[in-house]
Amino acid sequence: MADALELTRLIKEKALNMGFSGIAIAKATFMDEEARRLEDWLNQGYHGTMAYMENHFDLRTDPNKLVPGAKSVISLMYNYYTPDLPKAMDDDGPKVSMYALGTDYHKVVRKKLKNLFQYIQQLAGSVEGRVFVDSAPVMERDWARRSGLGWVGKNTLLISPSKGSWYFLGEIILDLTLNYDLPIKDHCGTCKRCIEACPTQAISPEGYLMDGSKCISYLTIELKDEIPKEFAGKMDSWIFGCDVCQQVCPWNRFSTPHSEPSFNASPELLNMGPDDWNALQEESFNKVFGHTPVKRTGLNGIQRNLRFIKEGR
């Protein structure tokens, strides 16, 4: 078997050849600092009705609870940026977050991660591990920061100094010693564009802290009850997710269009105007959104969000 340095080189080379935009590796250790920060965030109620955030605290902060004997956490980035957006978004019509335009990323990225893990097993022999794509209690943003893929910006998202932030994150936790990368420094500086642009003031005045219960993504996706009236007129026409803090981030000037066909929006979605949104029925909703993350809210959720932004105008 090759040594840790050679294994790391081969794994990184393979990942980039598979279409990942970045890969870096951190040592699998208990996340002491992150555990304290998460506990404080939960205690302040910033998770809103997302009760699942309180569950499996030990799994979130200790990789050995997920993979016994874990030694390495591989973090990977997969680009989803596209300039091709639904025409309704150009006319101040209903807006959908960019990540949700194409095929559900869980399926696309997970398949690639599994293939990469199989490759690692071929290289290194008997290796135990698991792959994760926003589907288990893994603090993916913090592992990516630890590995040096980017820094956590004032909008609380991971930002790459060369690629921006329009990326899905995925992880492979495994009981294999590899060559580890180092964190990079914060490059947000004095910039406060994301803080000033946030329609609901969900980002704290100094940044780096998000009140999830005020975030439009939470209000339009996670919240199952009626959206509180205090947010009327503040939703900026978003009906599934929100991209404002990424749209204004100067580091996203380095963004380039993705090359993943599965992430392209369907012609039906691209051509939907405001009237088409309001006329959605179960059959048409399933046809256009059945393979996308938007299916998570169901037609009822989308209709609730459409009503709310209409009433707020």
Q: Determine which one of 62, 90, 134, 276 is catalytic.
A: 134
CA distance 92 to 73: 42
Compute CA distances 168 → 13, 136, 140, 236, whole Å: 19, 15, 10, 24
Closest C-alpha to 98, from 265, 290, 273: 265
Beta bridge partners of 160: 164
Residue 236 CB neighbours (<10 A): 17
CA distance 218 to 237: 14
134 given a catalytic annotation? yes
CA distance 85 to 240: 14
Compute CA distances 250 → 105, 156, 242, 253, whole Å: 25, 15, 17, 6
Active-site residues, by number, are: 134
